[in-house]
């Protein structure tokens, strides 16, 4: 899953400036003066001076330091039609051939690192957990897609009641519909089974341990969707941050065991039509999974999704005051060795629109490309970056990858970074 969102903002530059520690002043001064755009989606960043883009790849995301509080950006300037035409890929189709639309009237809030992300999630979940119901008969819901989910640590430091487990219990007690799909981790110590069981024990909750992947594959999407029926608002979070204590606690404290923790990452919150598109990701995966049929239907139907009814259509999510644009891409593999004989109904031959969005952005960079990545493993990305440098000799390329002391051995991706034109450990 990849999110391509455009807005006029310089906030994510803070993270880069704090971590990049040599000869940054002239470059950062120019970027702060000229940058106008951000693209969010999971862990690869791309920027150029007049148009500042950051991609957050939802795969192996480990980004640099920095703290960024939730903030509104309603004052961001609106993109011109020519900018929208140039900087989005309008020729993409999803796994069944439907156009992958570029959505207007979107509001995007970006976060750097786990603490700010979890605080925003806590605020949204806590509000829905109040038990309010729309006079139109709509019902609130909370849907989760995760690679890893730890529901036992406080989302807000020093507030023990803010564990995800506690928040979801309160929401279910208020008749908020809870649904979850979590990857069946290969390591039996981290299979997410306990979290699935916890949600299935809730009166209004149901969850699936999902291993509908190719052999040696995984579900790496990290999406939280919240519909608050009291105010008729759909909100979706996505990016690179799982519910994991290593996103907020240093190694060796409060159960965090990840070298180099707290891990650095990026996440976004969407309001508007892009949130609707993220909701469709959950709906399609939920409806497609055979384990759904084994969930009970009485006394409460735990197979169903309120989200297929509310909001009633994408037009219901529109707010003319939202001035940003977004495009949601996906990564689903084609059929291959798997425990499942049938494949995704929504992507029977796979889908690589996230890849296409990133390559399109690389090809259209004019002044700067900045990337952070935990694993630099793609020869195709290396070739695309090389081509961009040849096409535009003035293009400045910066790649930041973590030191091998805090990540897996690097021979796999060091060669890719070197092939682009040099690299250094971050």
pLDDT in tens, 227-282: 998 888 999 999 999 999 999 999 999 989 888 899 888 999 999 999 999 999 99
Res 313 pLDDT > 50: yes
All structural domains of the chain with their residue ranges: 5-420
Specify the residue for token string 């593999």: 333
First to last CA, the chain: 26
The answer to whether the CB of 137 falls within 8 A of the CB of 167 is no
For 4, list phi and psi in degrees, rounded to 5: -115, 110
Structure tokens at 156: 């807000």
Res 329 pLDDT > 80: yes
Res 11 pLDDT > 90: no
Structure tokens at 36: 């106008």
pLDDT band at 416 (very low <50, low <70, confident <90, very high): low
CA–CA gap between residue 45 and residue 362 (Å, rounded):
10
Res 197 pLDDT > 80: yes
For residue 299, the model assigns a pLDDT of 92
Residue-wise pLDDT tens digits, 108-127: 999 999 999 999 999 999 98
Mean pLDDT of the chain: 79
For residue 7, the model assigns a pLDDT of 45
Specify the residue for token string 């564990």: 163
CATH number among 3.90.1150.10, 3.40.718.10, 1.20.1440.120, 3.30.870.10, domain 5-420? 3.30.870.10
Structure tokens at 402: 């973590």
Question: In 3D, which of 198, 220, 224 has the Cα closest to residue 210?
Answer: 220
pLDDT band at 191 (very low <50, low <70, confident <90, very high): confident
Residue-wise pLDDT tens digits, 337-357: 988 888 999 999 999 999 999
């Amino acid at each position: 899953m990849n999110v391509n969102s455009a807005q006029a903002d310089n906030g994510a530059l803070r993270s880069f400036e704090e971590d990049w520690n040599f000869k940054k002043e002239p470059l950062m001064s120019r970027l702060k003066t000229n940058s106008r755009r951000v693209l969010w989606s999971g862990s690869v960043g791309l920027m150029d001076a007049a148009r500042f883009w950051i991609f957050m790849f939802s795969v192996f995301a480990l980004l640099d330091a920095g703290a960024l509080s939730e903030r509104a950006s309603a004052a961001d300037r609106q993109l011109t039609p020519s900018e929208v035409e140039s900087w989005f890929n309008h020729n993409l189709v999803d796994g069944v051939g439907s156009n992958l639309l570029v959505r207007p009237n979107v509001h995007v809030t970006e976060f750097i690192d786990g603490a700010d992300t979890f605080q925003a999630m806590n605020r949204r979940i806590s509000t829905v957990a109040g038990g309010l119901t729309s006079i139109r008969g709509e019902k609130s819901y909370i849907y989760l897609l995760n690679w890893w989910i730890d529901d036992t640590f406080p989302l807000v430091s020093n507030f023990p009641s803010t564990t995800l487990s506690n928040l979801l219990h309160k929401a279910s007690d208020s008749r908020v519909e809870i649904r979850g799909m979590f990857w069946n981790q290969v390591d039996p110590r981290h299979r997410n089974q306990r979290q699935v069981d916890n949600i299935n024990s809730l009166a209004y909750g149901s969850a699936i341990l999902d291993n509908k992947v190719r052999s040696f594959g995984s579900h790496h999407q990290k999406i939280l969707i919240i519909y608050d029926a009291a105010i008729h608002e759909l909100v979706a979070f996505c990016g690179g941050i799982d519910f994991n204590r290593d996103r907020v606690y240093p190694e060796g404290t409060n159960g965090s065991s990840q070298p180099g923790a707290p891990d650095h990452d990026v996440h976004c919150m969407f309001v508007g039509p892009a949130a609707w598109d993220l909701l469709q990701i959950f709906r399609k995966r939920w409806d497609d999974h055979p384990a759904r049929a084994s969930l009970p239907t009485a006394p409460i139907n735990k197979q169903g999704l309120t989200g297929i009814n509310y909001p009633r259509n994408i037009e219901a999510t529109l707010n003319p005051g939202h001035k940003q644009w977004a495009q949601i891409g996906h990564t689903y593999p084609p059929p291959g060795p798997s425990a499942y004989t049938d494949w995704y109904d929504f992507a029977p031959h796979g889908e690589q629109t996230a890849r296409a969005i990133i390559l399109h952005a690389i090809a259209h960079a004019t002044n700067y490309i900045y990337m952070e990545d935990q694993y630099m493993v793609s020869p195709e990305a290396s070739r695309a970056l090389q081509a961009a440098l040849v096409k535009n000799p003035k293009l400045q390329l910066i790649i930041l990858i973590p030191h091998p002391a805090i990540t897996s051995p690097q021979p796999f991706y060091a060669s890719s970074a070197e092939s682009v034109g040099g690299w250094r450990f971050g």
